[in-house]
Amino acid sequence: RKEVEQDPGPFNVPEGATVAFNCTYSNSASQSFFWYRQDCRKEPKLLMSVYSSGNEDGRFTAQLNRASQYISLLIRDSKLSDSATYLCVVNSYQGGKLIFGQGTELSVKP
């Protein structure tokens, strides 16, 4: 089983749509969780950290379910500029080891 597994993509959605990405992780002792965004041929950039209580940043909402070892990212009112690959990232319990999922590609169309 992969340490971090994401929904296979790509997701093709119209502008204004709501889209949700899911991610599962295998190590129950994992401590920190993040969503990154990666544009084509660019470096990954931190989108948001994920907290147990859930957190929201504008149109983006992240949720963590430790019992199910599941992380989600919801994007509301999608914009063309949201088109990118979204990476689920989990910090290993051993520390200092960020493990990336394979990414889910999102394409927002006019």
- With CB under 8 A, what is the number of residues at the site for other proteins? 21
84 binds other proteins (CB under 8 A): no
39 binds other proteins (CB under 8 A): no
- Rounded Cα distance, 77 and 73, in Å: 13
Contact 40, 81 (CB under 8 A): no
- Rounded Cα distance, 64 and 58, in Å: 18
From the list 12-20, 21-29, 42-50, 54-62, the region that binds other proteins by CB under 8 A is 42-50
Which residue ranges make up the site for other proteins (CB under 8 A)?
31-32, 34, 41-46, 49, 87, 91, 95-103
